[in-house]
Structure 1
Amino acid sequence: MKLFLLALSFLLLMSCSKKDDLGKVDDIPGLGGDTWVKGPLDRWLFDTLTVPYNIAVKYKWDQFEFELNKTLVPPREEKIIPVMSAIKKVWMSTYIAEAGDLFFRRYCPKYFILSGSASWNENGTITLGTAEGGRKVVLYLVNDFVTRDMPDYKPGDSANVKQMFHVIEHEFGHILHQTVMYPVEFKRICAGLYTANWNNIDDMSAYKDGFVTPYAMSGYDDDFVEMISTMLVEGRTGFDRIVNSIPPGYSINGTSQADAKARLRRKEAMVVSYFQTVWHIDFYSLQSRTRREINKLLY
């Protein structure tokens, strides 16, 4: 009986292998079968980012690079060069000008993954970018990227573009502080005011407690890098505008206008000192360069 079952199993196996084409493993997208003839876009990415900085950009769709429970849209290929060219001007070139090639090559993420749409979360917030281990950055909303030299640009589109730069500066800020930690005194400035419900707080309410954005209220580390990204993207004038917009009176947590402004100025000073002491970077000079490049793209 055992011999009969073994023989039957063998026959079934042979029958399957002869008659049914189950497909080859290398034909499955994302497992080695998604090859294509390299074109001008691939050559531009290779020459502009891979050769000089060892940065790879993945724009061909691969769901396994993202959370499997999210519905996302692939990036449009005509958006890839404008997005990565703008990132090079606003983020890469400005850091290189202030800190040098060696600094940037050592600490820059080496792998960019692009998604055309945002990643929506269950609590109603959206994820606009992530960084993993200081080496991989995922950018969303690529299809919404429009600058003033593009035919479909409208003045309101500047917010979307600035948000992408904000994400890049935020994630790179994480890489820097994960390499060398910021001063522990920073955590004491707004101690007791951090909250998991930051997504239910509007901008002005965050300002009134001494935070530069609502997301900064989610934790110490995000508070620090939100300061970096906001100060760089908005420029010195834009950051001053945020501080000066805090009205007289008290927040719901009892923070006075004077205390809120003082907290933001203390955080500003710590960011500037951190960049100078740890990385030998003049933050205000970096800030000016960054804002200047953003203005060229948008205004």
Structure 2
Amino acid sequence: MKHINILTFLLLCCALAACRRDEKLDDVNDIPGLGGDTWAPGPIDIWIKDSLTTPLNVAVKYKWDQGELDYTHTLVPPKEEKIIPVLSTIRRAWLKPYEAEAGELFVKRYVPKFFVLVGSASYNTDGTITLGTAEGGRKIVLYVLNDFRTKSMAGYVPTDSFGVKQMFHTIEHEFGHILHQNAMYPDEYKRISVGMYTSNWNNVSDADARADGFVTAYAMSAPDEDFVEMIAMMLVEGKQGFDNLVNSITQPGPGGTTPGQAKARLRQKEAIVVKYFAEAWKINFYSLQTRTRTAIDALTR
């Protein structure tokens, strides 16, 4: 009986505290994260609209939204003063070269339509760092924006060119995945380094990887990663830079590969990449490479 009386009392309290039909509720749109966190477009939003959204139908999210990211990682938002410099260099050194070689329609069709920007790197439990991801050809997440500098930005020193090249390497890598997901590269590529791919790539240095015929250590993780790492390194380093990388191999690799074999494998991979771009996309890869490297040089030298 006591339990019934207590329940009745609680229900009565709830009824007395309940809202009346004519009582005005607080505007739910004021609750952040539930669709109400809107803002008046500022210079950054106007620049994005005029430079990316209107001409290319590309949207960019730079204001913080954890729902777009992995909840298991600790990340920080990008600094607003980095947004326009980063996006303008992306347009200049990635989109413009592809547009010049493949046409505006190619860019509109295959470039991801949604970019999410993050200020910090994404650190993984195995000691590796994620610098970018591509999801289904629609969305690219770019990390480490707060470290980005070009020669036109305050505090830039020549050694910071590594950060610029690192960002474009990430973009070219992820876009390479989008391309081969739409038109697969030849199976013969997978046979060049068959039996040498490993999940322990993060314990291998880039120099040792190259001595075994891989352009980077991460290229050793799987054939698809090998293919897009070749694309990224060839574009970002340019023809001379890639040639220097190949010619720098003078020691046998940990896997027993001789310098001659390692160089031959990298040249085989290079030839397939060039042929793939010509046949699958009607793109002159060496011309694209020159345009890309020239644009990156202008940002860093």
TM over 0.5: yes
TM-score (norm 2): 0.93
Of residues 93, 97, 119, the one that matches 1:94 is 97
For residue 81 of structure 1, what is the aligned residue in structure 2?
84
Partner secondary structure for residue 148 of structure 1: coil
For residue 180 of structure 1, what is the aligned residue in structure 2?
183
- Does the C-alpha gap of structure 1 residues 188 and 58 become closer, same or farther in structure 2, counting only changes over 3 Å? same
For residue 32 of structure 2, what is the aligned residue in structure 1?
29
* Structure 1 stretches of 4+ moved >6 Å: 1-4
Of residues 115, 132, 136, the one that matches 2:135 is 132
User: Is the contact between residue 75 and residue 117 of structure 1 (CA under 8 Å) also seen in structure 2?
Assistant: yes
- Does the C-alpha gap of structure 1 residues 208 and 116 become closer, same or farther in structure 2, counting only changes over 3 Å? same
For residue 285 of structure 2, what is the aligned residue in structure 1?
283
Equivalent-residue separation in structure 2 for 1:199 and 1:122 (angstroms): 12
- Unaligned 5+ runs, structure 2: none
CA RMSD of aligned residues (A): 2.0
Of residues 110, 116, 124, the one that matches 2:119 is 116
Of residues 223, 229, 232, the one that matches 2:232 is 229
**What residue identity is the alignment partner of 1:162?**
K
For residue 293 of structure 1, what is the aligned residue in structure 2?
295
Q: CA deviation at 1:72?
A: 1.0
Equivalent-residue separation in structure 1 for 2:217 and 2:164 (angstroms): 19
For residue 145 of structure 2, what is the aligned residue in structure 1?
142
> What is the CA deviation profile of residues 29-57 of structure 1, one whole-angstrom value per residue up to 9, with x for unaligned ones?
33212111111111010000000000001
- Does the C-alpha gap of structure 1 residues 25 and 6 become closer, same or farther in structure 2, counting only changes over 3 Å? farther
Equivalent-residue separation in structure 1 for 2:299 and 2:100 (angstroms): 19
For residue 154 of structure 2, what is the aligned residue in structure 1?
151
- Does the C-alpha gap of structure 1 residues 192 and 103 become closer, same or farther in structure 2, counting only changes over 3 Å? same
- Does the C-alpha gap of structure 1 residues 71 and 16 become closer, same or farther in structure 2, counting only changes over 3 Å? farther
**What residue identity is the alignment partner of 2:112?**
P
TM-score (norm 1): 0.94
For residue 242 of structure 2, what is the aligned residue in structure 1?
239
**What residue identity is the alignment partner of 2:299?**
L
Partner secondary structure for residue 45 of structure 1: helix
- Does the C-alpha gap of structure 1 residues 217 and 24 become closer, same or farther in structure 2, counting only changes over 3 Å? farther
Q: CA deviation at 1:155?
A: 1.2
> What is the CA deviation profile of residues 39-89 of structure 1, one whole-angstrom value per residue up to 9, with x for unaligned ones?
111101000000000000100011111111211111011110000000000
Give % identity: 61
- Unaligned 5+ runs, structure 1: none
Partner secondary structure for residue 86 of structure 1: helix
Of residues 39, 45, 48, the one that matches 1:45 is 48
**What residue identity is the alignment partner of 1:47?**
D
Partner secondary structure for residue 130 of structure 1: strand
Partner secondary structure for residue 280 of structure 2: helix
For residue 260 of structure 1, what is the aligned residue in structure 2?
262
- Does the C-alpha gap of structure 1 residues 25 and 13 become closer, same or farther in structure 2, counting only changes over 3 Å? farther
Q: CA deviation at 1:23?
A: 7.2
Equivalent-residue separation in structure 2 for 1:47 and 1:232 (angstroms): 27
> What is the CA deviation profile of residues 174-198 of structure 1, one whole-angstrom value per residue up to 9, with x for unaligned ones?
0000001000111010011111111
